[in-house]
Chain A
Amino acid sequence: GAGVSQSPSNKVTEKGKDVELRCDPISGHTALYWYRQSLGQGLEFLIYFQGNSAPDKSGLPSDRFSAERTGGSVSTLTIQRTQQEDSAVYLCASSPGTGGGYTFGSGTRLTVV
């Protein structure tokens, strides 16, 4: 597609439920990143995928968070047993794999009630 597509755009869930957030990167982009943006914290790196290689998970805040990328394309971020502090905007970005900046999606706004 023309840009990075994320779904859903908004998600309200009850505390303790699991959620799945989807990212469809720009076609041909080998690198994919997930970030979290919350009030007062700014944008925080979560996880990095390069092609079909094992991801770098060093930014994931707890073992309740996991992500996968199928076929080197679409990625899913899963949060298990959601907590109120997980409320944030989750942003996905993709790039050709070089250092010149990358393209973000519009994000999924997650609210845990």
Chain B
Amino acid sequence: QKEVEQDPGPLSVPEGAIVSLNCTYSNSAFQYFMWYRQYSRKGPELLMYTYSSGNKEDGRFTAQVDKSSKYISLFIRDSQPSDSATYLCAMSLNSNSGYALNFGKGTSLLVTP
């Protein structure tokens, strides 16, 4: 079983919709939880990161971490066509590999005008 599971989609929503993206994980030792956005032929871009359980909001984006359920979410409000991309969840802990990230496989999102 892969340590981080993420539904690959694709997920298609109309402009203005609320988008919910989710990941589950198996390693309870993970400390940092991140969401990256990746456009085609570009590197991943850090959107949000959180440490420990709870919510974090940044503009139209809200990240939630539930460590008891080993479940993280990213919500996008008032989605825009420019939000169309692949969203990757990632998590890490401090180890011999520094803070090497364990990624989900990414969810492909399409926001239609």
Chain A residues within 8 Å of B, Cβ to Cβ: 4, 31, 33, 35, 42-43, 45, 48, 50, 56, 58-59, 91, 93, 95, 97-107, 109
Report B-chain residues with C-beta under 8 Å of the C-beta of A42.
88, 103-106
- With both chains docked as a complex, state the minimum distance between the C-beta of B56 and any C-beta of chain A, in angstroms: 12
Q: How would residues 74 to 112 of chain B score, 1 for a CB under 8 Å from any chain A CB and 0 otherwise?
A: 000000000000001010101011111111111000000
Among the stretches B13-21, B37-45, B64-72, the one at the interface with A is B37-45
Report A-chain residues with C-beta under 8 Å of the C-beta of B88.
42-43
**Which residue of A is nearest B34, CB measured?**
A101
Asked if residues A106 and B106 are in contact (CB atoms below 8 Å), the reply is no
Q: How large is the interface on B (under 10, 10 to 19, 20 to 34, 35 or more residues)?
A: 20 to 34
Main DSSP-derived SS at the A contact region: strand
Q: Which of A4, A35, A58, A97 contacts B96 (CB 8 A)?
A: A58
Asked if residues B98 and A101 are in contact (CB atoms below 8 Å), the reply is no
Question: Does B32 sit at the interface, judged by CB under 8 A?
Answer: yes
**Which residue of A is nearest B92, CB measured?**
A99
Asked if residues B43 and A106 are in contact (CB atoms below 8 Å), the reply is yes
Q: Knowing A99-B32, A104-B43 touch, does A56 contact B101 (C-beta < 8 A)?
A: no
- When chains A and B are docked, how far (Å) is the Cα of A71 from the Cα of B3? 34
Q: How would residues 3 to 39 of chain B score, 1 for a CB under 8 Å from any chain A CB and 0 otherwise?
A: 0000000000000000000000000000110101000
Asked if residues B45 and A104 are in contact (CB atoms below 8 Å), the reply is yes
Q: Knowing A42-B106, A43-B88, A103-B46 touch, does A95 contact B99 (C-beta < 8 A)?
A: yes
**Which residue of A is nearest B45, CB measured?**
A104
Report A-chain residues with C-beta under 8 Å of the C-beta of B92.
99
Q: Knowing A101-B46, A103-B46, A104-B43 touch, does A59 contact B51 (C-beta < 8 A)?
A: no
